[in-house]
Structure 1
Amino acid sequence: MARKVLVAILVLLVFLSVSAVPAKAETLENGGVIMQAFYWDVPGGGIWWDTIAQKIPDWASAGISAIWIPPASKGMSGGYSMGYDPYDYFDLGEYYQKGTVETRFGSKQELVNMINTAHSYGMKVIADIVINHRAGGDLEWNPFVNDYTWTDFSKVASGKYTANYLDFHPNEVKCCDEGTFGSYPDIAHEKSWDQYWLWASQESYAAYLRSIGIDAWRFDYVKGYGAWVVKDWLSWWGGWAVGEYWDTNVDALLNWAYNSNAKVFDFPLYYKMDEAFDNNNIPALVDALRYGQTVVSRDPFKAVTFVANHDTDIIWNKYPAYAFILTYEGQPVIFYRDYEEWLNKDRLRNLIWIHDHLAGGSTDIVYYDSDELIFVRNGYGDKPGLITYINLGSSKVGRWVYVPKFAGSCIHEYTGNLGGWVDKYVSSSGWVYLEAPAHDPANGQYGYSVWSYCGVG
């Protein structure tokens, strides 16, 4: 019994040494961890901005650098809208229209209060920008389609960015652009009127969001319009930005990223992680990384990585996936429900700490098979680097691995997943025997270990 108590104390000590240390300032611009602060169909009734505000102190203490919030403008569905059907861009929950004053998420003042709370904790706020289409307009005769269309936006309560059929495709300029979303009217970004009200003026939607404290941008459905739109938006307003280019064609994603000056979500990596971690096919992931089939392997500074989001949640074996994105290259996003509801919050906080304090530099994969993956981050700046060992098997495993970066050094296991305080000494020739626990989250075995120099933090 005494031995069990001692082990429990050691586990507690290692956990406190890693996850209870105040987070250092890892900024959004320097690759800090992002929290997606919503999911599809969050509770209605105007409580969500207040809900986020209440979560911010915990997220800040965990090391989150920024929160990504849902589209804030009044949508066609009023109080039921998740914001992806924008009607009045300048109604953030202050005008009665579409059956409500507040949006699904709350009032404008509650939004501003939430943003101010985030800033008071040193966190940036990322707005979800939906400018491919509009929704909820009135019927009008449209000579370009010889029929009636829902393109009359003359009655928006804000009085700003009124629009008609000339502001959508097809029009007198061209039939179409890069893509449409469902049957929603497709905004004609080539029109100076639409540019003026969306981003290219001090009266624009972008200016309005800046005025309430928005710091950064997540652009929705960027396959639907030219990359030049985001590039021009950023030339006006600057700030960190990422685009949702939902595709597995890495060349297409990087082409968009380079032409827009924004980052891009790494959908190819997302699907490869599903193949690797849900189907015990780690070689498929390794091949994708080695042969440039993911954004992070081609240009990690353009890659925003994720395990789930409000649109797609196919990876069920999430612990190794989060261990991967929080210790590998790229900028990781944590999904609200994973952190708040579905996974062990302490495990995620621990991985965030590891990301912010240890995970720097280039990557070398030193071992893999169908169930195991071991890679080294080589360190950069004040991040010394690490060794991640992922095990998908039902039994504890160990390997002799060659890690010359750590030759002759003491290395410590920073997750506590091996059941206590574990240090190893790497031989002067660079060889060390490392272990990873079984993968059995139901019984508190999370299937990964992370190692770095002793005494960090």
Structure 2
Amino acid sequence: MDSTIDENKMKKESELWWLRRGKFFIRQETMATISLADGAIGILPHHLFISSGVGRPNLFVTPKKYSLTCRKHSYHKRKLLYKSDSLFKSRDAVCCSVGESGEASIDIASDGTVPEVNEDALMAARKALYETQSRQETLEKERDQLLKELATSKVKQQEFLAKVEEENETGRLVLEAERKKASSKNLKVEVEATKGSVESSNEVAPLKDEAYTRRYETLHRAPKAAESASKIWRQRAELAEPVFPKSRLLDERDEDAIVVGGRLALLIDDDSQKSKLLSDGPRREIPDWMARRIGSVRPKFPPRKINISEANTSKFKSLELPNPAEVWSVAQAKPKYGDTLIEHVIEKEFIEKKRKALERALQRKTIQYQKTPEEITLEPGTGTGREIVFQGFNWESCRRRWYLDLAPKAADLSRCGITAVWLPPPTESVAPQGYMPSDLYNLNSAYGTQEELKYCIEEMHNQHLLALGDVVLNHRCAHKQSANGVWNIFGGKLAWGPEAIVCDDPNFQGRGNPSSGDIFHAAPNIDHSQDFVREDVKQWLNWLRNNIGYDGWRLDFVRGFSGGYVKEYIEASNPAFAIGEYWDSLAYEGGNLCYNQDAHRQRVINWINATGGTSSAFDVTTKGILHSALHNQYWRLIDPHGKPTGVMGWWPSRAVTFLENHDTGSTQGHWPFPRDKLMQGYAYILTHPGTVSSSETNVKFCLACWM
């Protein structure tokens, strides 16, 4: 590079380097490489700076090494530029030019000539330098702060990872402890069961030994008894042997002899009495007067004849029996007129024939009752409003083939005015009564088989009766246990798992959503908020309607799930009639029934509202009030607004009144109605709005009041 200073070129393409208090050496050659040691170099673009030689150095450069190529003017002598601590003595001017490639050319003027410097530009450059330095310091501080924060975050991250690892270890230990606890619990249960079986076997073993001992003793005594019996019979035979005449062979002269007697000889011969006494034995000694009377009464049969000549000359004749045609027959005998008994029988037959003729005439002339269109029109799930429901079973009906017993009574129920028959739960159940269902599609229950059920429903339909099925939708019994021993895995066609059970069921570890009603603690509570559960229930109800023949439903324990789901099920299955069992406790004060039962019947009304009015409900409020009202407290039967105090007073078309059912009465007797007040109770509900329901045990009282 040329060492001549070109100011225009320096302004446009290069930067000015001012070396102050710098330590550098120039080699003896024309071209020299300058190595920056501890000098400070400031980067000042497009300006030429001259050191004043006074004051503190104020120009710095970043610690970066540059390789510089320099050339001195030919008229300068080689000399060491560094003199003392400053350059102001020599007043040498160093001009440096740096290109884009990173190489710099330095021109040193030692003749004392100093280029002109613009003070304003110098001040602006210094100001820019100060700003650059302050910015650099700020950036360094920020960098240090970020490094500190990074270190802090790393420490926190390590602490967090350690904490997470500790929590994972704790959770693993807890799970392992719970697993061990569950396994130990199962082991304890198995041990207890084994102990129970061992104890029962220990209890049964003595009984079996005792039974075997008795059987052995009996078998041991049997030969002795047989020997004694044979000995007795042998003695009897020996005693009876001289009684019978010895048999003798007939010779040629006796071939034509006639033997008269046979069994008759036992009656006429004295030896016959001996044989009878030997076989039976006398109870007491016969007195003489009785012996004489017996001898006089005994018929005189002819003695035994030996030959024909004696038989022909005897005054006695052989017995001649009449022909069978001459014997009197009851079937062929003609009645004897004039006999009082015969005349009474003839009169009774005549009256019966006349009664049947009158019945046939009345049937021909009777005008059949025609239902009005209002009576034929059915509302969804609530019928016509004129139904009389008959509960066709009780708590003990499962002990018999109930479907076959109930089917023949359909005609009698229809003639009595019954319009709907409430049948027992049809599904397979853990309890024989049917209220703990397991496999919903298995209809072979304690009441009968599926074919017997269909036959019973067909008989009901032949008599124009509605068949209501008792369906249990709130809960269902599982078929299998889970890995931790909980019965929450279902079988059959609807093979659900724990996800079909509500999560707040305390006994069965469900994985579904919380329950929308009360918990039934005896079986897993079904989560009706699950879509697959509702679809399966709707398909099952439609199968009962279409394949089995049910016309409506009686819904068990509807307090366990929301009435909104009941609305969905009723709209999907479209029953002719539906009743919900919302059994809630009434209000009592001091052991006595409160007069105001509005809160109780409001809860029943709220459930009916939740179903959208598609279902009726049992009027439990009216039943509870009648228990007290019929004991000379008739003021309880009317509320302050002049209406009945039960559900029938607020929504009569959705109230199903009753006095007894399989829970309140029958053999359970949870809440039996007073027996001496049944007639009054049925007289009340039959003369007030609402659908009447009568139990199987009280139907005669209901019909007596209705007729």
* TM-score range relative to shorter protein: 0.5 to 0.7
Q: Contact 2:622–2:647 (CA<8 Å) still a contact in 1?
A: yes
Match of 1:238 in 2: 574
SS of 2:579's equivalent in the other structure is strand
Q: Deviations over 1:158-183 (max 9, x none)?
A: xx111111111114442333122123
Question: For the Cα contact (< 8 Å) 1:62–1:352, is it kept in 2?
Answer: no
Counterpart Cα distance in 2 of 1:70 and 1:44: 13
Show CA shifts across 1:122-173 (max 9, x none). Answer: 00011111010011422113xxxxx53211113x2xxx11111111111444
Is 2:660 aligned against 1:323?
Answer: no
Cα distance in structure 2, aligned partners of 1:24 and 1:86: 41
State the distance in 2 between where 1:217 and 1:22 align.
Answer: 30
Q: 2:389, 2:694 within 8 Å by CA — same for their partners in 1? A: yes
Q: Which residue of 2 aligns with 1:187?
A: 526
Deviations 1:33-66 (A, max 9, x none): 1101111121424x10111112111100001000
C-alpha distance in 2 between matches for 1:65 and 1:83: 24
| 2: CA distance, partners of 1:32 / 1:255 | 23
Measured at CA, do residues 242 and 289 of structure 1 come closer, stay the same or move farther in structure 2, by a change above 3 Å?
A: farther
How far apart, in 2, do the equivalents of 1:56 and 1:23 lie?
19
Change (3 A) 1:177 1:136: same
Alignment of 1:46-57 (within 5 A): 47-57=401-411
Match of 2:487 in 1: 150
Shift of 1:22: 8.6
Deviation at 1:206, TM superposition (A): 3.6
Instruction: Name which of 127, 134, 144 aligns with 2:476.
Output: 134
Distance in 1 (CA, whole Å) between partners of 2:659 and 2:640 is: 17
In structure 2, list runs of 5 or more residues that go unmatched.
Answer: 1-365, 377-382, 504-509, 587-599, 666-671
Q: Equivalent of 2:659, from 289, 300, 307?
A: 307
Q: 2:435 aligns to what SS in structure 1?
A: coil
| Cα distance in 2, alignment partners of residues 294 and 338 from structure 1 | 21
Verify: 1:164 aligned to 2:503, yes or no: no
Any conservation in 2 of the 1:22–1:61 contact (CA below 8 Å)? no
Task: Check conservation: 1:272, 1:288, Cα contact below 8 A.
Answer: no
Which residue type is aligned with residue 524 of structure 2? P
- Give the TM-score of the pair, scaled to structure 2: 0.41
The Cα offsets for residues 302-326 of structure 1, whole Å up to 9 and x where unpaired, read as 1000010111132111000001111
| Correspondence list, 1:80-95, <5 A | 81-93=432-444
Secondary structure at the aligned position of 1:241 is classed as: strand
Distance, in Å, in 2 between the alignment partners of 1:63 and 1:180 is 38
1:300-357 per-position Cα deviation (integer Å, ceiling 9, x unaligned) = 1110000101111321110000011111111000110112xxxxx3x6335435xxxx
Q: Is the 8 A contact 2:608 2:616 kept in 1?
A: yes
Kindly tell me: are residues 281 and 218 of structure 1, through their superposed partners in 2, closer, same or farther at Cα, counting changes over 3 Å? same
Matched, 1:37 2:392: yes
Deviations 1:235-261 (A, max 9, x none): 111122110001241111011112212
Q: CA deviation at 1:31?
A: 2.1
1:4 paired residue number: none
1:111 to 446, 449, 453: 453
Displacement, 1:271?
0.5
Contact 2:404–2:452 (Cα < 8 Å) also in 1:
yes
Q: Once the 2 structures are TM-superposed, how far is the Cα of residue 289 of structure 1 from its aligned partner?
A: 8.0
- Distance in 1 between residues matched to 2:368 and 2:680, nearest whole Å: 25
- Picking from 508, 515, 519, the partner of 1:176 is 515
Aligned residues: 304
Instruction: Give the partner amino acid of 2:494.
Output: Y
Give the deviation of 1:73 after TM superposition: 0.3
The match for 2:420 is: 66
- Structure 1 residues 245 and 24: alpha-carbon distance in aligned structure 2, compared to 1, 3 A threshold: farther
Query: 1:227 is matched with which residue?
Result: 563
Aligned residue for 1:148, secondary structure, equals: coil
* 1:257 lines up with 2:608 in the alignment: yes
Quote how far apart the aligned CAs of 1:189 are.
0.8
Tell whether the 8 Å contact from 1:266 to 1:304 is kept in structure 2 after alignment.
yes
Q: Is the 8 A contact 1:23 1:61 kept in 2?
A: no
- Distance change >3 Å, CA 182–CA 23, structure 1 → 2: farther
Contact 2:679–2:705 (Cα < 8 Å) also in 1: no
Deviation at 1:23, TM superposition (A): 8.1
CA–CA distance in structure 2, aligned partners of residues 92 and 195 of structure 1? 20
Structure 2 match to 1:374 = none
Structure 1 SS opposite 2:458: helix
Q: Check 1:21–1:140 CA distance in 2 against 1; reply closer, same or farther (3 A cut).
A: farther
Distance in 1 between residues matched to 2:638 and 2:645, nearest whole Å: 10
The CA deviation at 1:280 is: 1.9
Letter in 1 for 2:486: T
- What's the % identity of the aligned pairs? 25
Relative distance call for 1:259 and 1:321 in structure 2 (3 A) is same
- Quote the Cα distance in structure 2 between the aligned partners of 1:109 and 1:30: 31
CA distance in 1, matches of 2:398, 2:499: 37
Task: Look up the equivalent residue of 1:38 and give its one-letter code.
Answer: F
Structure 1 residues 65 and 206: CA distance shift in structure 2, 3 A? same
On the 8 A contact 2:498/2:511 being kept in 1, the answer is no
> In the aligned structure 2, how far is the partner of 1:123 from the partner of 1:283?
37
Q: Distance in 1 between matches of 2:574 and 2:513?
A: 29
Where in structure 1 are there 5+ consecutive unaligned residues? 1-19, 94-102, 142-146, 340-344, 354-457
Hey, what's the Cα distance between the residues in 2 that align with 1:253 and 1:212? 31
2:477 is paired with a residue whose SS is coil
* Residue identity matched to 2:476: R
Is residue 627 of structure 2 the alignment partner of residue 274 of structure 1? yes
Aligned to 1:197: 536
Q: Is the 1:178–1:223 Cα contact (8 Å) retained in structure 2?
A: yes
**Which residue is equivalent to 2:693?**
333
CA distance in 2, matches of 1:232, 1:167: 18
Deviates more, 1:170-179 or 1:31-40: 170-179
Structure with bigger gyration radius: 2
* Aligned AA (1:44): R
